[in-house]
Each structure stands twice: as C-alpha cells, then as structure tokens.
A and B are shown apart, each in its own frame.
Chain A
C-alpha cells in the first residue's frame, strides 16, 4: 500500500527539520493533527500513545478540518490543547451526549469522544450506553487503565479484583464493592454499535493493532457504518506505583486475562453495510421491528 511521504509539522521544521540531511527521508514523524503542546501526562503514560494514534488516523483520513473532538474529565481533560481540530471540553462522563448533539448539528463532521474509565464506565455509564444503543454516528476512544489517575489513584469501575488503590487500600474486595465492568462485552450486546474492539498499547505489535482499530473506528464514521468504540487497555505507571516498563508487564499479566483483546462486534465483517441492517436481521422475527416500505 502506497503511503504519502511523511512530513514534519510546521512547528518542527526548525528544531527537527534542520537536523535532517537532504538525502534523508522521514520514516515516522509527529502527526500534523497534534499541536506543539507537551502532553501534561506523567512520563511513560500511555495516553500519549493513544493520542498519537488518534492524530494519525485523522491525518491519514485527511479529516482534520472537519473533525470535532470531545475531551473528558480526567488525565486527558486538557487534550483540547493537544489536537489541532476543533475541541469541546465536556463535563465528567457526558462526552457521548455532547458528541451526539455535535454530530446531529453537523452530520458532515467527524465527531469523536476520548474518555477514561471513570468518565466512561462510572459517572458516564448512562450516556455511554445510550449513545451506543442509539447508534450515534460517533467514534468513542476508551482508555481503560483500571484507575482514576487525575485524582490520585482511586478505585475505578475497571479496577481488577484485589487491586490496591487509594480507595481500596486492602485490595478491591468484590464481595463488598462488586466486580469490574467489561465495557466492550457489555456494549456488544446492544444493537446500536457497528464496531467494538478492545486493543492494548503495551507492545509494538499491540500498538499496531490499536492503530488499525482506531483508524477503522474513524473510517466507519466517514463511511456511515455507525457507532464505533475502541477500548484501549492502558497503563498508569504513577498510580500503579511502578516504572512504565513494569506497568507494561503488569498490564500483560493481570489486565489482559481479565480484559481479553479482540473484536466484540463488527457489522461490516459480518457482511452488513451498517448497524441498522445487522439489527434488523437480529430482530427479523419481530414484525413491528421491521422497517416498513415506503
């Protein structure tokens, strides 16, 4: 597959471009959809990797000018500064509702919500589930790192059983506080979504797969396939209390067995052109659910 030659974003022309010889070609560079803002994430935080993947998808699909992103509340709260597209900061958990309205006002825009686990799977569960079941034509990027990072490491809806956090100091006791939510599996039971995949960002192989998934989630929106959701199993070295590299190991050892990677729903792979066709097939024995002709 031929890809356009890579170029540097304007702001790197001087400090990086000046170091590149005339006969050298750029293999990999910062995507243009990212602004020249230093991420406010801790060193080694994988939010940054996912930001790059989102920006690369925007670059590769050539949609920066029509993309509107919705920022969450949490560590990525200020990502409205990191992307060059138009951005809206939502209140905690409400990004899917905000995205819904933006997409309804400007159907030709590409609208994405970027949310963490507390935002998406706790305070915003209702907004998440209902945007999904309405089959909103939006793209949702979900960072699951099993902890509240911004507020200093409290138990998240996705914290693992026995995981020690600031608010589960003796480990998450499932007999008292219940179990983590597997959002991808839960949302995949709904008719509204077109595409749901869980990926991880702990290795180059997984990051490659994450990139494919995120790009597809944006492509689906451009092509009118429907609501697309990518859960990225990620790390929080600071609040997990380990080095970035050890956090990758912990993710592989503990998170991946609980949150298996893979595609949980993909209507296009099933041969449908969008989520509505797939839902109609599933409800084919229900007369009222069949779309009337004319």
Chain B
C-alpha cells in the first residue's frame, strides 16, 4: 500500500522510554517482524511492538519460548526480512542455539539483550554480566557478531538502526547489549527517518521461492566435508576482519591528556563520566573511553590513548570483571589495567568510583595537579 504508514510515532523528536525507543527505531529501520517471549526488564519493548507493528503491516508474534522466537528470527531473516527478538539475560541464553545457526548460515537479524543480573535467574536490576556471552560465547562454534552498547536513550535509537544495517551488510546476527537502566529511562530523543522495507537493498540469497527463475537458494550451516566447513569459516572470518577494521566505535571523554583512563560502557559509563569530571576537579587527569562497539572492541582507540601517554586504565563494569580482559588484551601489557565493578543490580555511586580513581592515582604515584595547571 503506497499510503501505508511506515512509522508508528508521528513525531521525530520525542520524550520516550529507552525500551520503547528500541522498538520504534527498529520499525523505522524497516523491521516488520518481531518474535519474543515475556521477560523483565524488556517488556515495554514487546508491548510497544505488539501495539504498533500490526498498524504498519508488520507481524508481532509472542512465541512459545525464547528458542522458538530466535528460530523465527532465523526463518524471517532467511526469507529476506528485517526481523528481531528481544529478551533479557536468562532468555538470551536460550537464544544461543539460534544465534549460532544464524551465524553459521549467514542469516542477518537483530537480538536485543536488556541485561539483568545473573547467573541463573539472578535478579532483575541493571547489570552487565553478559559481556562475555555477548562478545565471546553467544553460542557454539567459531563466530562473532557485532555487539552495540547504548548509553543513552538517543543511542538506543541510533544503534538499533545501525545494528540492522550491519546485520544486512555483513550477513550476520547483531546484538544490542543494553541494561535495565537505559531501558527504563526516559530521555528526549530524535528518532531516525523511517525506511520503507521495500526500499532496502535486495537479498538475492533469500529463500523467497525460486519462481522458476533461478537455482534454488539454500540457507544452511551444515558442511560435512571438513575442507568445505573450513573454507566457509575462513570466508566468514574475512568478513569479521573487515568489521574489525571499519566498525570500531567509541566515545572519548577527556582522554587527550589523561593519566588514568576509565573504560566503561552503557549505564556504567554514565556514572564513570561523572566520576571523571569530579577527578578533574580534584586535579587528577582522568578520562573515559566508552566503547560503543563491544565487538569489535575499540582496540585502535586504546592504542591511541596508550601512545598518547596514558599511565593506567581502569575498567568500570556492572559485573565481576569481564570487559577488563579486552582492555588488557588491547593494552598488551604496555600500561597497567585495573578493575572496579559492582554486581547484582547494585550501581556504584560517582563518589565510589572517584575514590577508586584517587586510590589508583596514589598507587601509581600520580600527584594531583594544582588547580588551573
């Protein structure tokens, strides 16, 4: 239908909740298929989709399980559509199987994890304890996928838009790793332009029916010949190399002259930023590197900071220390790396982080500069 509305929200500048922005921006990115299963704390997202998607000719389907939901994303993606699912930590574990198959069969799709504390049923408060899972082990087999970490409601919109583009361009699943805090937060946001799914780039590999005009398309991750499987994996890792070379994204805050650089993403980065400002007020040259892509990890930015003369890195996370391993890998022993984290839904205060910065500064013999220096 030519006059069919292709966006649910009529305004482009709105005050919205993070979870709803994810939904709205996904629709504006051309996503018309949502498959999910109820779980806290991402319910607003599914509710928004349930309400709005049918109005713009889309499909909202509450699946029987997280496993079914991700396999529906696999099917819809295989059929050429932009499709997504959303969940929170325990539910995302169940999606691991389907995500591995998507990676193995080169099927694009977007998975949202509005993280909560774990392991097991854990809690329902904000957490970043799925960093390893998202960046290392989202399923069995040799694969990675782009993982994007929003820290504002605006980024919820921008990054899900980007996630769909990356997924299609590189034929890969892509993940938004958010947390309950950004998900539940309301902020003003400028929504991205609505795209008609019909105008998106064509997918000649999709299973849409041959219409007796071409050889049959097969979406598959089974390769029983060892050499064929190795070749397939190598080709995929060539794409990963391209992603690593071109898609690293980060925000640098006061890093130029920083002695101590905090590394934090998502909700933790908001608190870390306040702590960095407070440290600067006390004369400690602190800075913040905020990874926006968790995979690929912004190693080039870390190189730049190391070469710029930073004396130490401190990874601040809402977990027991996961991203810190990537910071250590990226710094390659050139500067010391420490970690500070709270877990279980406990958020550190800026004062608490400031205290850690001061402690670290004194350990390293970094003396606060006099004000104005």
CA A77 to CA B224, docked complex, whole Å: 11
- Given A85-B209, A86-B208: A94 in contact with B67 (beta carbons within 8 A): yes
Does B68 lie at the interface of the complex (its beta carbon under 8 Å from any beta carbon of A)? yes
Among B8-16, B74-82, B242-250, the stretch that binds chain A is B74-82
Q: B216–A102 contact, CB under 8 A?
A: no
The 0/1 profile, CB within 8 Å of A marked 1, for residues 39-67 of chain B is 00000000000000000000101011101
Q: A89–B105 contact, CB under 8 A?
A: yes
Contacts of A248 in B (CB 8 A): none
Does B121 lie at the interface of the complex (its beta carbon under 8 Å from any beta carbon of A)? no
Does A243 lie at the interface of the complex (its beta carbon under 8 Å from any beta carbon of B)? no
CA A65 to CA B81, docked complex, whole Å: 19
Does B83 lie at the interface of the complex (its beta carbon under 8 Å from any beta carbon of A)? yes
CA A67 to CA B209, docked complex, whole Å: 6
What's the minimum C-beta distance from B248 to chain A, rounded to whole angstroms? 31
Q: B71–A97 contact, CB under 8 A?
A: yes
What's the minimum C-beta distance from B216 to chain A, rounded to whole angstroms? 5
CA A64 to CA B212, docked complex, whole Å: 7
CA A214 to CA B64, docked complex, whole Å: 27
CA A65 to CA B68, docked complex, whole Å: 27
Does A81 lie at the interface of the complex (its beta carbon under 8 Å from any beta carbon of B)? yes
Q: How many residues of B contact A (CB 8 A)?
A: 39
Contacts of A126 in B (CB 8 A): 64-65, 67-68
What's the minimum C-beta distance from B15 to chain A, rounded to whole angstroms? 33
Does A158 lie at the interface of the complex (its beta carbon under 8 Å from any beta carbon of B)? no
Q: Which of A77, A89, A99 has the most CB of B within 10 A?
A: A89
Which A residues have a C-beta under 8 Å from some C-beta of B? Answer: 35, 64-68, 70-71, 77-78, 80-81, 83-91, 94, 97-102, 104-106, 109, 126-127, 129-130
Which B residues have a C-beta under 8 Å from some C-beta of A? Answer: 33, 35, 59, 61, 63-65, 67-69, 71-76, 78-81, 83, 97-98, 101, 105, 207-213, 216-222
Further 20 A-B residue pairs, CB within 8 A, beyond A99-B75, A105-B80: A65-B209, A65-B210, A81-B218, A85-B209, A86-B208, A86-B209, A86-B210, A86-B218, A87-B216, A87-B217, A88-B220, A90-B75, A94-B74, A97-B75, A100-B61, A101-B71, A101-B79, A102-B78, A109-B209, A127-B67
